[in-house]
Structure 1
Amino acid sequence: MEPRTPLSPIPQPPHSAGLAFKGLRAAIDPQSIPSPIDAIEADREQWNDQPYGTLPGGHVPLSTTDYVAIDQGNSSPKYMRVSTWNVPSTSTLAANCAIPLVAMVQPFADLDPREEPIPLVDTGDIGPARCASCRGYINPWCKFVQGGMRWKCNLCSHETEVAPEYFCNLDANMTRLDHLQRPELNKGTVDFAVPEAYWAPHASESFKPLYESVLPPPTTKTRKPEPMSYVFTLDVSLEAVQSGFTACACSALLDMLFGQPGVNEDTPGVPPCFPAGCRVAIITYDRTIQFYDLSPRVAETPRMLVVPDLEDVFVPLRDGLFVNPQESQAVITNLLNSLGQPGGHPLETEAALGSALIASLASLAGLGGQVVLFASIFPTIGYGALRTVLDESTLFGTDKERTLFAPRDEAWRDLAERCAQEGVGVSMFLGMSRPIDVASIGIVSSLSGGDMFFHPRFDPNRDGLALHSQLQRLISRTTGYSCVMRVRCSQGLRITEHHGNFYQDHRTADLALGTLDADKAVSVSFEHTAHLDDAGFAFLQSAVLYTSTDGQRRVRVCNLGLQVASLAGNVFRYADMDTVVCHMLRDAISKLPHQRIAKTQEQLTDKCTATLLGYRKHCAAAAPPSQLIIPEAFRALPLYTLAIMKTKPLKGRNVTADVRNYHAHKLRGMSVRATMQHLYPQLMALHDLTPQIALPEEATGQIRLPSLMRDSYIFMDSFGLYLIDNEDMMVLWIGSDASPQLIKDLFDVDDFMNIDARMLQLPQLPTLLSTQVRNIIAHRHAQRGWTPKLLIARRNMDAAEIEFSDMLVEDQNNAAMSYLDYLCFVHKQINNDLTGGAPTRQVGLKSAPW
């Protein structure tokens, strides 16, 4: 179903503000300019009914497409994507093309249910076979020589002796006879079970002064892997309790730990999602730190131990601190039901957030694991105390603007590095009513590999559902702890930089992550050190050493073999815009603490222009300078570049520093798919759905979503209903001229004015439209794994329309140009370069040149 283009577009709301193109430009039909929708829809249609084989040589599905990958020796693009699947053979060719050489690595990405699980390879005490020179892991691209006695590394060409326990004879094709029984020799992505030599080391002595340890010194250099331990750290200050944030967090914890019983047969209960075998501890904090003895032997009311010294934090108990939640269900339930309830004792107005984090870290010392922190107050006491809130209005647009994106006290960075070194990931739920300095406290999550969830002006009725689902996703997704990650490349290439949420010791190439989960990705840049043979392949290998949730020490290895190209046309033909856009976004965010936003925006435009100019010069040099020629792989690059400048961390309009830093944290660690859907949100028309849309198919049970629309008011009707989703929230926009029957079918009210704009979920009605729309929303929830906030925006009436308008990135908003104006601006820059600085009036766009 194709969305209909209206004859008379809706004018932009007066609250949208943007910049106009300066200079003359011809009138161009907005429908004629390149759009990502055509490519997205065509790619989905192509891979809807056929699997994708991972052997090199073909085009790769877009990150926004649901597809089934068959591992043929290369990792699925869900695990590794590169900016071009034909690597330039020389650094000169790479510079001419101006395509950054980047790989996006998401080692624990969720699989499609129809795909084979990742094989687990256990080679016993000898461990996985590794190159004696570069320490790369054996993989399908390696070759066995000397009758199988040695194997040749595809990364460095070194020949390593095969261990006697791993030896097998070769056939006439120089292939091992047990090739098909060895997943590591025919699968691009595998898990290796590893022996004691790979166990996580104890933290360096230099990291001990933060807290007083009650544990005896370790007798070994490494610690035995165990099921993950969780510490839930709750803010019980006055503001957290009065806002309902603490009570909502306790309710979500109870549901996650023990599930919800069913109301009746029609409403089944919700099962618990806490991993079996894992242990849990609960800490609360205000002006003191409170620990709880949760052992089942105590009374139903747990014993509380208070640590008042915020500067010299220690753990006052060990037995009973961590427990199996099923064995201590009554104790934990009584504790969580009592927390967050006003009354009983006076509530403090301050909370020692930094000291609470140290207490959580001290509890996990020698274990590793995950801290889930709930905070709602600006930390004014204890470790890392911040005295005053900065006046942001005087800093934006000045050279001091960059100070808003860095911790104000280096103590927070030190704490973050210690968490990463201890193998502890810190995830934060922030439910504050005033600024909390995300730039300072958020670095603990960023460097430890944790997550962050942002609920300003927390309202249990509005935010409770999202908080519940976010916590369930946090606990139930694939997660490893005590992680060390390294990406290796073959001869002629070298790794130059990394972007993501991790801690990197600059003395090594390893990335340390307290936790790494299914939703996180790391970007890796590489460059040439020598000429590559275009008759051969270039190789990348990512290895993550981690402890699984159930306590197994493993290495997740992802391998990629890439073709080498000596022609610019082939480099562009197999380029991957999704990876390039993600790299541009992360690179721009990494510069926020070092330079002004305006300069970063200029550099983004320069990079976009350089890539298109590289294609223009080396693949389409014969075309006249006035004609804008865009390669097929980068048809929407100007639009996505503009969308990057309209994201909350980088846009020019007034945005609070907390909001900018929160979104910077999220975007720096997002998967490729989530990033692309955040930059160009999915917009769907709901008022003209055909009866076949969004209803389960009898054979497969899958639903077909409506076609996407371009993100602009130009393509909307005043009588329409539209749903937009940017991976962070969903907004349902209702036109002022919408049919009363549509409103009745979807909301069960008779009039546009009677729609409850504060509703959090659509009512369950027996109408076809209600079923279809709820199926679409449920499908999007299942794809992302959690339930975001749903906002209702009636045209020219509700405040949520501001969020809706800001997501329409093709329009003139967010203190930036419209897509049409920006495309003309980019074309002007390219034309000036080709003509040696021709004046603007000579740039003619008489027809759609693309």
Structure 2
Amino acid sequence: MSIQEGQNWSQLPNLDVQNRDQAIVNPSDIEENSNAEPYYEESVYQKLVRPCNRYDEFMGKFTANGSMPPPCLAQYFVKEQKVSNPRFLRFTCTNCSLNENIQYNIGIPLGAIWQPFAELSPEDDKVPLIEREPLRCTNCLAYMNAHFKFSNNDFKCNICGYVQKYSKEYFKSQGSFPEFSRGTYKYLISKELQGSIDKNIYYLVCIDITNFSLGLGVYQQVLSSIRDILNYIPNPEIVKIGIITYDSFLHFFSLNNSPESIQEVIVSDENDLFIPFHFSSLCYNAQTEKEKIENLIDSLLGWEFSEISKNTLPVATIIDLVKNHFKGDAACRLLLFSSKAESLKTEKLNYLGSLEEFIRLGKECTENSLCVDLFLFSNSVDISSLATLSSQTGGDIYYYPKYLSKYDGEKLYYQLLRIFTRPQVFDANMRIRCSIKMAIDDCIGNFIKKSPVEMQVAAIDSDKSIGIMLKYDGVLVENEKVYLQCAILYRNNLGQKILRIYNGLMIADENSKFTHTEYGDLDTINNILVKKYAKMMFEKQLQNVKSDWYNFIYRVTNYYGWVISGAGSDVLKPHFVDMLPLFYNTANKLAGLSFNQSISDDIRLVSSFSLYSISSSKLRLLLYPNIYKLHDIMAQPRLPGTASSSTTIYLPDTVPCKRESLSPEGVYLLANGDIIVIFIGKNAPEEFLIKLFGKPLDQLSKEEIDIKNIGTEESERISLIINESRIKNPNGIPPLYFYLEEKDNYELIKQFMVEDQNGNETSYELFVENINSLVQYYED
């Protein structure tokens, strides 16, 4: 089904909202399209609820006016009507209960996911820029928005309810003001407040050159990746890139117009480390000095370092040095690569490695506009300390405990590409306000919390989201509106100071225990729960965290069983209630939340920290990946691999995320947001493989296996399917791998089999049986 131009998605009369996100393929359909025996149990498939992440139908226009938004992975465009685009701000429910007790029983956590710089579709309303001072409430300092109530010369603030005067001149012009019709808008801060900061964006790449790093191929991969990425950097005229290498010394490089003129400066005094160049001379412009950067990289790729030390400088020491060098005079993103675990745990210079010192350093980096991305290549790392440096500054940790250049090189390349090309801003200060009778309970994300409602971060990009937890501060009345306003002051990629405002609302509903069939947003509920329990990991033992989450699932399931049994057949169980057990089960198989004792503490911590700022779209694929059938695309009625009227490529049928779904005779595409894998069954038809690869599989080496258009319809369609999956992937282009059944390591595809038992974590089927048995036991 598609939506016609101008039609609101949430108002379609024949759309079953409860099942808008549920798989519609059934076993009988699959049997008709395949001669193979079913490779899963039909009864199991029929009784278990699964999501459908495949949204290849363009859904048309959605009007952001407080109504239920489409799923986060759906294809649609947004026109704002006094409420922010749901890509920016989504609530767990569009209607809330009148008081805390009812909301607690309903089971929907009250909150919102705020993704301030989410990437928009080309047809979305763009955020308008206003070049005048914003009008604010003099009581709570909320910003003017479409929900202020005007009468005569007064206006009433929708956040605090305060009534105040305003000028007649302002009233005469307000009809044309974007803040009276839109939910999201931005103000250009006056020149007097812009400051004199360097308007360039600096990327400083700092690479470990120990023998271990060189042997892994990290040094070569990073340099060659950056050389290629130079061709894709947006706004290269304001981007400057510098490269430093280090072991126990610091190595700086300067050159003029040719590789022969390169000059190496080594700083070897560990007790008096310094950067010998001003940062404007250390880094080169990505547009006007692109050739210099290329010459430098070409020289470094063939550079012979003399007397490389076995030890390296401590990570914290290098970060502190860069922070003191920039001193907040320019926005800088530091990409630091380290492969020596011992250097992270035996800090002999400025830092002893205590958590308090790392927290202090992270705060100082944020105050000095330094964002830190850490790339770590060792089996054992002090993640608990280092993670604070990235999480407080808005950066990320990329952990490769067993880095293999042949396997991980492509993944590293695309991670670097994403860092250099995604939308991002610097020097961000955030403030959240909500209307009376509600309060901000907590905010979860990558930032420094200055107060319960104020946050600061050195940089924030389009992939980062913030979880906002709300709580009741009074009793609402029927149809009362609850408002949320989020503001962020930042410096954009043109060096301008900008203030962005986001507005959202919920409506109090006395019958919410019945109407939540329509009003619960599964994507946002999931993200809020995952963020909440990931944070709880650092406050309680894992056993207690999982127990709290399990009790929540039981309570909600039991409550709706009671409501439905008492109300009769007219009330349907809300869709999000059906899905909660699945996402609880799959979330608890993530490294950060799993009981699996084979998972190292470092991997567990990296996983937990990544959940703090994960977007809803990426989380959805991580918790329940897509597994597409490729081997029978010519027989599938939707004609996968062909374009719809909106040029969207139709995608193949999906199968459940369990190992028994993958037939030995099949070929599948597996996608979880991080990577894409082409699974080739051991008995896959040779005729199909020849049409796909041009030769029988046994005549191709692993390096020669690739899918491209070789002139057959199968290869053309599957090439388009792969390309569509990569382009539409949340958070950038994922690397592509090939998996040959019984020849390659099962660990590659194990992460996709989220329904299967994983260590001590039960299978989805068994978990649903257990939770239903428990509910039935207490009912009896």
Do the two structures share a fold, i.e. TM-score over 0.5?
A: yes
Counterpart Cα distance in 2 of 1:832 and 1:631: 22
Q: Please name the residue that 1:518 is paired with.
A: 462
Q: Please name the residue that 1:551 is paired with.
A: 495
Q: Does 1:183 align with 2:178?
A: yes
Counterpart Cα distance in 1 of 2:639 and 2:346: 54
Q: Does 1:50 align with 2:60?
A: yes
Give how far 1:602 is off.
2.0
Q: Please name the residue that 1:370 is paired with.
A: 332
Q: Please name the residue that 1:213 is paired with.
A: none
Q: Does 1:819 align with 2:764?
A: yes
Which stretch of the first structure deviates more once superposed, 328-337 or 419-428? 328-337
Q: Please name the residue that 1:326 is paired with.
A: 287
CA RMSD across the alignment: 3.0
Q: Please name the residue that 1:107 is paired with.
A: 116
Deviations 1:786-812 (A, max 9, x none): 33233322223310x333234222222
> How has the CA–CA distance of structure 1 residues 570 and 371 changed in structure 2, closer, same or farther, with 3 Å as cutoff?
same
> How has the CA–CA distance of structure 1 residues 28 and 779 changed in structure 2, closer, same or farther, with 3 Å as cutoff?
closer
> How has the CA–CA distance of structure 1 residues 150 and 570 changed in structure 2, closer, same or farther, with 3 Å as cutoff?
same
Deviations 1:643-678 (A, max 9, x none): 111112112221122322222232221110110111
Q: Please name the residue that 1:238 is paired with.
A: 211
The one of 59, 83, 99 equivalent to 1:90 is 99
Q: How many residues align?
A: 740
Which stretch of the first structure deviates more once superposed, 736-745 or 679-688? 736-745
The one of 605, 629, 642 equivalent to 2:550 is 605
> How has the CA–CA distance of structure 1 residues 604 and 749 changed in structure 2, closer, same or farther, with 3 Å as cutoff?
farther
Q: Please name the residue that 1:214 is paired with.
A: none
Q: Is the 8 A contact 1:547 1:553 kept in 2?
A: yes
Counterpart Cα distance in 1 of 2:271 and 2:547: 45
Q: Please name the residue that 2:449 is paired with.
A: 504
Counterpart Cα distance in 1 of 2:662 and 2:405: 34
DSSP 3-state at the match of 2:206: strand
Counterpart Cα distance in 1 of 2:228 and 2:682: 40
The one of 264, 267, 289 equivalent to 1:307 is 267
Matches within 5 A, 1:667-706: 667-690=611-634, 693-697=639-643, 700-706=646-652
Q: Please name the residue that 2:242 is paired with.
A: 281
Counterpart Cα distance in 2 of 1:158 and 1:197: 30
Deviations 1:174-202 (A, max 9, x none): xxx542x2112111111211225765xxx
Give how far 1:368 is off.
4.3
Counterpart Cα distance in 2 of 1:647 and 1:476: 28
Deviations 1:49-83 (A, max 9, x none): 43111112x43211121211111111121111111
DSSP 3-state at the match of 1:825: helix
Counterpart Cα distance in 1 of 2:612 and 2:436: 29
Which amino acid in 2 is paired with 1:704? Answer: Y
Q: Is the 8 A contact 2:345 2:381 kept in 1?
A: no
Deviations 1:105-143 (A, max 9, x none): 0010011112232111111xxx21121111111111112
Matches within 5 A, 1:388-427: 409-427=355-373
Give how far 1:482 is off.
0.5
Matches within 5 A, 1:480-499: 480-499=425-444
Q: Please name the residue that 1:717 is paired with.
A: 663
Q: Please name the residue that 1:142 is paired with.
A: 148
Q: Is the 8 A contact 2:210 2:310 kept in 1?
A: yes
> How has the CA–CA distance of structure 1 residues 384 and 302 changed in structure 2, closer, same or farther, with 3 Å as cutoff?
farther
Which amino acid in 2 is paired with 1:721? Answer: V
Q: Does 1:746 align with 2:692?
A: yes
Q: Does 1:460 align with 2:442?
A: no
Q: Is the 8 A contact 2:564 2:573 kept in 1?
A: no
Structure with larger RCO (C-alpha < 8 A, sep 6+):
1
Give how far 1:521 is off.
0.4
Deviations 1:723-747 (A, max 9, x none): 1111111222222221111121223
Q: Please name the residue that 1:268 is paired with.
A: none
Counterpart Cα distance in 2 of 1:137 and 1:412: 36
DSSP 3-state at the match of 1:447: helix
Counterpart Cα distance in 2 of 1:613 and 1:285: 59
> How has the CA–CA distance of structure 1 residues 156 and 278 changed in structure 2, closer, same or farther, with 3 Å as cutoff?
same
The one of 559, 563, 584 equivalent to 1:641 is 584
Q: Please name the residue that 1:445 is paired with.
A: 390
The one of 155, 158, 165 equivalent to 1:151 is 155
Give how far 1:623 is off.
6.9
Deviations 1:273-327 (A, max 9, x none): 4632233333222112234446x58996344443334455443332613442334
Counterpart Cα distance in 1 of 2:719 and 2:659: 24
The one of 122, 133, 138 equivalent to 1:132 is 138
DSSP 3-state at the match of 1:621: helix
Which amino acid in 2 is paired with 1:491? Answer: I
Which stretch of the first structure deviates more once superposed, 76-85 or 328-337? 328-337
DSSP 3-state at the match of 1:371: strand
Q: Does 1:60 align with 2:69?
A: yes
Q: Is the 8 A contact 1:479 1:516 kept in 2?
A: yes
Q: Is the 8 A contact 1:423 1:483 kept in 2?
A: no
Counterpart Cα distance in 1 of 2:164 and 2:413: 51
Counterpart Cα distance in 1 of 2:476 and 2:193: 34
Q: Is the 8 A contact 1:521 1:669 kept in 2?
A: yes
Give how far 1:357 is off.
1.3
Q: Does 1:729 align with 2:675?
A: yes
Give how far 1:366 is off.
2.2
Matches within 5 A, 1:760-775: 761-775=706-720
Q: Please name the residue that 1:401 is paired with.
A: none
> How has the CA–CA distance of structure 1 residues 817 and 755 changed in structure 2, closer, same or farther, with 3 Å as cutoff?
farther
The one of 37, 49, 58 equivalent to 1:35 is 49
Matches within 5 A, 1:564-643: 564-567=508-511, 568-621=513-566, 630-643=573-586
Q: Is the 8 A contact 1:384 1:409 kept in 2?
A: no
> How has the CA–CA distance of structure 1 residues 739 and 661 changed in structure 2, closer, same or farther, with 3 Å as cutoff?
same
Counterpart Cα distance in 2 of 1:806 and 1:698: 31
Q: Does 1:787 align with 2:733?
A: yes
Which stretch of the first structure deviates more once superposed, 361-370 or 679-688? 361-370
Counterpart Cα distance in 1 of 2:634 and 2:156: 58
Counterpart Cα distance in 2 of 1:605 and 1:701: 43
> How has the CA–CA distance of structure 1 residues 760 and 320 changed in structure 2, closer, same or farther, with 3 Å as cutoff?
farther
DSSP 3-state at the match of 1:355: helix
> How has the CA–CA distance of structure 1 residues 428 and 102 changed in structure 2, closer, same or farther, with 3 Å as cutoff?
same
Counterpart Cα distance in 1 of 2:575 and 2:304: 64
Deviations 1:561-613 (A, max 9, x none): 22111222124530112111112211222122333333322222112122222
Q: Does 1:527 align with 2:471?
A: yes
Per the normalisation by structure 2, the TM-score is 0.88
Counterpart Cα distance in 2 of 1:31 and 1:601: 26
Which amino acid in 2 is paired with 1:487? Answer: I
Q: Please name the residue that 1:168 is paired with.
A: 171
Counterpart Cα distance in 2 of 1:371 and 1:462: 27
Q: Please name the residue that 1:316 is paired with.
A: 276
Counterpart Cα distance in 2 of 1:92 and 1:248: 55
Give how far 1:684 is off.
0.5
Q: Is the 8 A contact 1:311 1:382 kept in 2?
A: no
